[in-house]
Structure 1
Amino acid sequence: MALEFRSLQYRVGDRPLFDELELRLPVGESVAVMGPSGSGKSTLISCALGLVKPQGAVQVAGVDITSMRRKDLARHRGAHTGVVFQFGELLPELTPVENVALAGLLAGASRRDAYVDAETLLAELGVPAADRATGTLSGGERQRTAVARALINKPALLLADEPTGALDDVNRNSVADLLFQVPGRWDCGLLVVTHDEQVANRADRVLHLAEGRLRTRSGA
């Protein structure tokens, strides 16, 4: 199982954000979560990253991360979780290869392996080979680079927080098509939170966050 939330409870001030929330995300499957602003979609991502400590269980790659010490959590996250943010969060002065390889180096890979794997991933994801700063790439190319960076350590879980929100229609569709191919091609689970129904509809399952719980379209 890539990700499992069990009986998640979390409050923001006096407001309950999650109320016995449940989710099971197997390896090889994609889930899109929709909901209005303030419903807690990004907080779900934070829970899966261990940045927020809810009540209940958060299992990533079969391990409950809620009681981990900070160092152990960082090590586990680096080994098993990749994340793509709305604006990529890349270092604009580095080349795409350098951005992707850096994630491998930080996880303990050798310099040679990190750079070879980065070049391979970028080629597979359609990022043109270029020795130029990432900041000069198109929005779509930057997000593809961000996906490569998230995949370089072969995570069991890929998280994406509004990954197409800053893109035009052409790049949005291109990046969304790529993202939802990832679980089958790289053997991981994919959790995407998005406002965009056209993006969400590419997922194996679409869930709506309402009243603190994840529900199917029918409200079941």
Structure 2
Amino acid sequence: MGEPKLWIRGLTYEVADRVLLDRVELRVDAGESAAVVGPSGSGKSTLLGCALGLVRPRAGSVLVAGTDITGLRQRALERHRSANIGMVFQFGELLPELTPVENVALAALLGGAKAGDAYEWAETLLKELGVPYSTVPTGQLSGGERQRTAFARALVNRPGLLLADEPTGALDARTRDAVAELMFSAPGRWGCALVVVTHDAQVAGLADRCFELIDVGLAQRPSRAEAGHR
């Protein structure tokens, strides 16, 4: 199967003597998608924070591209994250005054790419994702176009792991469906692993595997293939 892009083993996290995650296990390989669902306060965002290295667990390991990020110093963690992880937030977190291509190229430049390469790859990604990259500021785009731009930005450094936190939560139903279809096509198109945290059961149902955070543990639901045979 090769080295997993994300491998969470025995992850335990607690805050103010309250256990949010207890011995959580999750492995996601290249070309595979996983969705994590659960009620508010169940620990979904905490789990994603651990995968990003923003939250330090009390116990367990978080391997991203073969490296346990829980033991990395801050600068090494930032370098590893930039090289291996792309992140999509619910509201995109883009700079509205910049054009789509400037937003995407900026992420590549911060990752160490040369200006020409950064803009060329940004334009290629945006074209593939159906986003206009002219002189229109990103703030003037539709919600769906902004989220597509956010996906392009997350992919521009060719990460092995793509993380998404409620990426369709601020979209209407029609736009949500289009963005979700795009999102779950990413592992097949770019060979990355995808982990999506969502409240939306329809979005979660598009993943190869779906997990639910319940009683501080992670339980796997039936896969798409298994559900299709019922």
TM-score for both structures, normalised by structure 2 = 0.93
What one-letter code is carried by the residue in structure 2 that aligns with 1:105? L
Contact 2:99–2:133 (CA under 8 A) maintained in structure 1: no
Confirm or deny that 1:196 pairs with 2:203: no
Q: Which residue of 2 aligns with 1:15?
A: 18
Counterpart in 2 of 1:111?
A: 115
Q: Distance in 2 between matches of 1:166 and 1:156?
A: 26
Of 73, 78, 85, the match for 2:77: 73
DSSP-derived class of the 1:208 partner: strand
For the residues of structure 2 that align with 1:10 and 1:200, how far apart are their CA atoms?
24
Which one of the candidate residues 202, 218, 222 is aligned to 1:214?
218
Deviations 1:169-200 (A, max 9, x none): 11100100000000010011000000000000
Q: Percent identity?
A: 65
| Cα distance between partner residues in 2 of 1:91 and 1:208 | 33
Match of 2:102 among 98, 102, 127: 98
The answer as to whether partners of 2:100 and 2:132 remain within 8 angstroms in 1 is: no
**How many aligned residue pairs are there?**
218
Q: State the alpha-carbon separation in 2 of the partners of residues 114 and 129 from structure 1.
A: 14
CA distances 1:15-64 after superposition (whole Å, capped 9, x unpaired): 10111100011111000000000001011111011000002100001110
Match of 2:175 in 1: 171
Query: Is 1:134–2:138 an aligned residue pair?
Result: yes
Correspondence list, 1:114-125, <5 A: 114-125=118-129
Query: In 1, Cα distance between the equivalents of 2:47 and 2:187?
Result: 19
User: 2:209–2:221: 8 Å Cα contact kept in structure 1?
Assistant: no
5+ residue gaps, structure 1, are none
Which secondary structure state, in structure 2, belongs to the residue aligned with residue 167 of structure 1? coil
Of the candidates 36, 51, 70, which is equivalent to residue 48 of structure 1?
Answer: 51
Q: Which runs of 4+ in 1 moved over 2 A?
A: none
For structure 2, list consecutive stretches of 5 or more residues without a partner in the other structure.
223-230
CA distance in 2: counterparts of 1:63 and 1:188, whole angstroms: 16
CA distance in 1, matches of 2:117, 2:221: 44
Any idea what SS the aligned residue of 1:181 has?
A: helix
| Counterpart for residue 60 of structure 1 | 64
Q: 2:150 aligns with which of 146, 153, 168?
A: 146
Give, in whole Å, the separation in 1 of the partners of 2:6 and 2:216. Answer: 18
Distance 1:206 1:19 in 2: 18
Q: TM-score, normalised by structure 1?
A: 0.98
Bigger Cα displacement from structure 2, 122-131 vs 98-107: 122-131
What is the rounded CA distance, in whole Å, between the counterparts of 1:137 and 1:174 in structure 2? 15
Deviation at 1:130, TM superposition (A): 2.2
Root mean square deviation, CA, Å:
0.8
- CA apart distance, 1:217: 2.6
8 A contact 2:31–2:188 mirrored in 1? yes
Could you say what secondary structure the match of 2:135 adopts? coil
